Structure 1
């Protein structure tokens, strides 16, 4: 094994893994809401859902955290906070696919078992996108 993706969101668990990992063993976050903190603790990066719709801002946050630039990482994370949660307002990847279709990157249709994002989901995700500087 070369590493692990920790998607639990449990930073105490992440601290334990980081403290006990062998040399060369990578630890990646798989939980966007806690990815910045995991990287600041010594993690190696993030396997992200949010990065699908906000790649530059997410990369900036992770790069800042890995470099120990806490204020820069926090500023980016604050912009992304709404997306981190609203992209899971309905089953993943429905909200992300909807955003990407609104951006013109992909078609808007879904295949079963996925269904289209609800109207209330669209409203919430659109608002979170606006907070992250994504105009739909």
Structure 2
């Protein structure tokens, strides 16, 4: 079932990218509005799924994704109306010291490796830190 779900997610993303014409550069990236239009098309397609249980599950997934997209879009618009950059990066508060880096033995024992820059846990399949973007 997980493999089928992963396949469905990949197909949905590929369909979204085709619908948006691909993303060659930052200025060509799909917008939240394009994602919402794509999700609406997927919802219409999902309504034609023959199996009732599968149709219900797929519609629930798509409607949840649509709700999250709407919430995100509304938050960004509200911040922009108040002149606040919604993706502004901030420095950590002064006086707060990050946790010490784990010793290599601890990292090996727990199976987790931490970023040398921000000390976040690194994902083994990524070549960069998901928290700060630093390369491994």
Question: TM (normalized to structure 2)?
Answer: 0.26
Higher relative contact order by CA 8 Å / sep ≥ 6: 1 or 2? 1
Q: Whose strand proportion is higher, 1 or 2?
A: 1
TM-score with structure 1 length normalisation?
0.26
